[in-house]
Amino acid sequence: MAFDRPRDFERRTYQGEWTCSECGAKITELPFEPAPDRPIYCKECWRKKREDRGQR
Ligand SMILES: [Zn+2]
């Protein structure tokens, strides 16, 4: 078995400077591409949002 194909499923991170729309924390790294017209959340708030979503 040969694994010479590039892993396009590999997680990449986006470096930059953002402010969390929820708690105002400084964000320097995102696991996804940030959209300029959407609120950006820090890891904790992002997780909270996801958990809230999963409850309903
Ligand atoms: Zn936050």
pLDDT values of the chain reduced to their tens digit, one per residue, 56 residues:
566 666 655 678 899 999 999 999 999 998 888 888 999 999 899 899 889 877 65
SS3 for 5?
A: coil
7 C-alpha to ligand 1 centroid (Å): 31
Number of independent structural domains in the chain: 1
Per the listing, tokens 């924390």 go with 25
45 C-alpha to ligand 1 centroid (Å): 4
Question: Which structural domain range is residue 23 located in?
Answer: 14-55
47 C-alpha to ligand 1 centroid (Å): 9
Q: Classify residue 28: in a domain, yes or no.
A: yes
Helix (H) or strand (E) holding 49: helix 43-55
Helix (H) or strand (E) holding 26: strand 26-30
Q: Classify residue 22: in a domain, yes or no.
A: yes
